[in-house]
Amino acid sequence: MNNPIILIVEDSQTNIQVLGRVLKDEKYELAIATNGKEGYQMAINIDPDLILLDIMMPVMDGFETCKRLKLLDKTKNIPIIFLTARGNPDDVIAGFELGAVDYITKPFNSHELLARVKTHITLQQTIQELKRSLDEIKTLKGLLPICAKCKKVRDDEGYWQSVEKYISTRTEAKFTHSICPDCLKDLYPEYYDKKFKDSED
């Protein structure tokens, strides 16, 4: 799995340096934009796992940038954390209403910043993994070639494998072995008779 990409959209070089120092020891790839318009375009191009978005910026402010990103299918699910020096509750509420997942106030508290970033990166990775799992499960709803004799199935790459292996590699289902009543009657009639006669009695 590739390292998570964090897009920092911030016009202050000092704040960019602070963010870089806090995040440098983690396994994150950092991309930098210095205004909202540039950040908007970079988000489309690089598909980051998280965006740290300043509110007060030239060219296009953070609110407008967030609003535009949430209108695009390609970027609407990227989590956005607002960076703000303004403690006005109305600004925080406005950010959440636009689709941001969190906000961090300036000056940055390193531990708080790192904790919030880690939390939202982990959540995003979990969501993506769930989506991949659902996509895998959905493929099981289509036509699945199965051998009429040995009951092996053919995967998307043309290889034949057991049903158990096919399903277990695509879902988290685990198999246990048992025997159905019809097979029990066919293979072990004495046990079948005893089992079902006892249950009738």
pTM above 0.95, yes or no: no
Contact 8, 33 (CB under 8 A): yes
CATH topology of domain 5-136: Rossmann fold (3.40.50)
Give percent above pLDDT 90 in the chain.
45
**Over the Cα atoms of the chain, what is R_g?**
27
pLDDT at 117 over 90: yes
Q: Whose structure tokens read 């540039």? A: 38
Cα(27)–Cα(2) distance, integer angstroms: 9
Residue 68 tokens, joined:
């535009």
Predicted pLDDT at 136: 65
Cα(1)–Cα(86) distance, integer angstroms: 37
Residue 93 tokens, joined:
């509420």
pLDDT confidence band for 132 (50 / 70 / 90): confident
Cα(28)–Cα(198) distance, integer angstroms: 64
Predicted pLDDT at 91: 81
Give percent above pLDDT 70 in the chain.
86
**Mean pLDDT, the chain, integer:** 85
pLDDT at 199 over 60: no
Each residue of 44-100: pLDDT tens digit?
A: 999 999 999 999 998 899 999 999 999 999 999 999 999 988 667 788 888 899 999
pLDDT at 184 over 80: no
| Coil, strand or helix at 107 | coil
Residue ranges of alpha helices (H) inside the chain are: 13-23, 36-46, 62-71, 89-98, 110-139, 163-168, 181-187, 189-200
Predicted pLDDT at 75: 95
Q: Per residue in 69-103, is it b (16+ CB within 10 Å) or e — as a string?
A: beeeeebeebbbbbbbeeeeeebbeebeebbbbbb
List every span in the chain annotated with CATH 3.40.50.2300: 5-136
